[in-house]
A and B are shown apart, each in its own frame.
Chain A
Amino acid sequence: MTTTSVPRLKARRVPVKHKKAIAIFLAPFAVLFAAFYLLPIGWAIFQSLLVVERNGTFGKPTQVFGGLSQYVLVFQNEAFWSSVGRVLLFGVVQVPVMLGFALLLALLLDSPLVKGKKFFRLAFFVPYAVPGVIAAIMWGYLYSPNLSPFAAFTSNVDLLAPETVLWSIANVVTWIYVGYNMLIIYSALLALPSEIFEAARLDGANQWQIAWSIKIPLVAPAIVLTAIFSIIGTLQLLAEPQVFRSFTSSVSSTFTPNMTVYATSAVPNVSLAAAMSVVLAIATFIMSFTFLRLTQRKGDK
């Protein structure tokens, strides 16, 4: 992602050529981006600053400016914070496991040890084509104590219990995204010049040493990219746990932050839900941005 970190500042005034063409190229995306990205963000912030007031018990509710009072409520909202804590715990475990798995498969695929690369690459990638809702329905049945083909196991170990269901969902997410992340890392590996490895191999390094001390550091940018997308995805978790609600009562309506937003907006308490959306978006932004910065700093040494 080096193109982003090197802004080319030009102080000199150069007359802009092809103004009309540039406008034509930019306009459609710019309009849509403004209408369906920037405006909603602005709107969410605006809505989050409103509170509902009633004149008496039966009076008509009206929305008035309430300052940051909704944010105070968000910070006091236990359901919201426990859902945030839950996805953070989820992310701390699931993201490294998934990326480690993806990295292992990518390295194996890139090594001379494996035959039938084409087949494996496709087989591992197929789950990415399965939507989260469908994957969750499928695994919901696979976890079920009586309908599962592995009922001998699932009838003894309750994978849908309150203590285990988070990790059962983690498995669904891992199943979907390992292949996708593997392919990103694998394409980065393919792009490395092979002379580097030849030299190491002549020096007597074996495949594992080459993988550990040459390949992994060189594909670090790709791993960072997959990590950022995984962090964003984790905080946004919605479809899989929402589907699991029809398989088990262990998943509450406020299981993840997005489910809390949805449940709160359905109450309806849109201002509070909007404030939660804003907090969530800012948190996601800060986390992925910080992660990007930290890893880039490390790479600069």
Chain B
Amino acid sequence: MSQISAGAPKEKLASRTAAMIVMGISTLYFLVPIWWLFVGSTKSRAQFSSTIGLWFADFNLWQNIHDLLAYNDGVYLRWMLNSILYAGFGALLGTLFAAMCGYALAKYRFPGRELIFNVVLGGVLVPATALALPLFLIFSQFNATNTFWSVFLPSLVSPFGVYLARIFASASVPDELLEAARLDGAGEVRTFFSVSRRLMTPALVTIFLFQFVAIWNNFFLPLIMLRDQTLFPVTLGLYTWNSQVNQIPEIRTLVIVGAFLSIIPLIIAFLSLQRFWRGGLGAGSVK
């Protein structure tokens, strides 16, 4: 970018250097812990505590992964699969429902529209964790705690997703287009799935990703609902392992490797979908 230089070139160089130093130090702050986790997951138990933390010793990653997958009949893989089911399907369905609801609120006029939107908006301000205990009480009425559904179903609800979907639907789906589709004789629901959904795609990817992260990271709900190890998401599983480290020292290596492997899917998802969510992220505030 070419700039009209306002100050003296020396002053400009100083600001530039100061800015880059701040950026550099921040990069270290954000990435060194992850680097440490990667390096740590390549080390044997003995070398983990005896060698320097930020650089490699003998490369033991594959052996560690092998041990991780073998431990306790491969329960780690089960946890990863559970997390992918909870977060993947939960976010997929949740996004669809939020999109439909937000779209209806944006594109149709009907009595109670503002009321519904305000109730949903109130839902954004009610923290999900405040609902964990009452949800447990309700599910226990039906003897349904400690089941897949007790974590999956509540995860489908995303009031913030509705809020975003409404904003995006008003901004990206022109009324004229809907009128044209109507003149062509297409039904409302079909128009949504064939035309509007496509126009809303960047928004939907954003909603999906953030709901995916919210479910993947959710800790209180599975903590309070689940007793059966085989239903745990990976976060809860690693948490229980980590609290056993003092009794079973060899499990520490597994916690480190398991933690490292568990963050890879999310990082890949964010990197590969960034061209979608980048545009969508600020929408909640800009519009």
Q: A104-B22, A131-B235 are in contact. Are A32 and B243 (CB under 8 A)?
A: no
B-binding residues in A (CB < 8 A): 1-4, 7-10, 14, 16-22, 24-26, 28-30, 32-33, 35-37, 39-41, 43-44, 47, 104-105, 108, 111-116, 120, 122-135, 137-142, 146-151, 175, 178-179, 183-184, 186-188, 190-191, 201-202, 204-207, 219, 221-222, 224-226, 228, 232, 235-236, 238-239, 242-243, 245-246, 258, 261-262, 265, 270, 273-274, 277-278, 280-281, 284-285, 288-289
Is there a chain A Cβ closer than 8 Å to B73's Cβ? no
The chain B residue sitting closest to A151, CB to CB, is B53
Q: A28-B100, A235-B127 are in contact. Are A274 and B23 (CB under 8 A)?
A: no
Chain B residues within 8 Å of chain A by Cβ, number? 106
Q: Which of B15, B36, B130, B278 contacts A277 (CB 8 A)?
A: B130
A22–B75 CA distance with the chains assembled, in angstroms: 44
A-binding residues in B (CB < 8 A): 1, 3-4, 6-7, 15-16, 19-20, 22-23, 26-27, 29-31, 33-34, 36-37, 40, 48-49, 52-54, 96-98, 100-101, 103-104, 108-111, 114, 116-118, 120-123, 125-131, 133-138, 153-154, 156-157, 159, 162, 166-167, 170, 187-189, 192, 213, 216-217, 219-220, 223-224, 235-236, 238-239, 242-243, 245-246, 255-256, 259, 262-263, 266-267, 269-271, 274, 278-279, 281-287
The chain A residue sitting closest to B192, CB to CB, is A25
The chain A residue sitting closest to B36, CB to CB, is A149
B263 touches A131 (CB 8 A): yes
Which chain B residues lie closer than 8 Å to A131 at the CB level?
216-217, 219, 235, 262-263, 266
Q: A28-B97, A187-B282, A262-B223 are in contact. Are A41 and B49 (CB under 8 A)?
A: no
B100 touches A26 (CB 8 A): yes
A166–B182 CA distance with the chains assembled, in angstroms: 59
A238 touches B220 (CB 8 A): yes
- Dominant secondary structure at the A interface: helix
A45–B284 CA distance with the chains assembled, in angstroms: 31
Which chain B residues lie closer than 8 Å to A7 at the CB level?
114, 118
B19 touches A3 (CB 8 A): no
Which chain A residues lie closer than 8 Å to B110 at the CB level?
16, 19, 22
Q: Which of B131, B187, B213 contacts A40 (CB 8 A)?
A: B131
B129 touches A258 (CB 8 A): yes
Distance (Å) between the CB of A297 and the closest chain B CB? 18
Which chain B residues lie closer than 8 Å to A104 at the CB level?
22
A205–B100 CA distance with the chains assembled, in angstroms: 47
Which chain B residues lie closer than 8 Å to A127 at the CB level?
30, 33-34
Which chain B residues lie closer than 8 Å to A225 at the CB level?
284-285
B126 touches A284 (CB 8 A): yes
A26 touches B104 (CB 8 A): yes
A238–B224 CA distance with the chains assembled, in angstroms: 12
- What are 14 of the A-B contact pairs (CB < 8 Å)? A1-B284, A7-B114, A9-B114, A18-B108, A44-B133, A122-B271, A128-B270, A129-B267, A133-B217, A188-B282, A201-B6, A221-B286, A262-B133, A284-B127
Q: Which of B26, B127, B131, B219 contacts A36 (CB 8 A)?
A: B131
B129 touches A238 (CB 8 A): yes
Q: A114-B23, A179-B30 are in contact. List 12 more A-B contacts (CB 8 A).
A: A32-B156, A39-B138, A108-B23, A111-B19, A113-B19, A123-B30, A126-B270, A128-B270, A188-B286, A190-B282, A236-B129, A265-B133
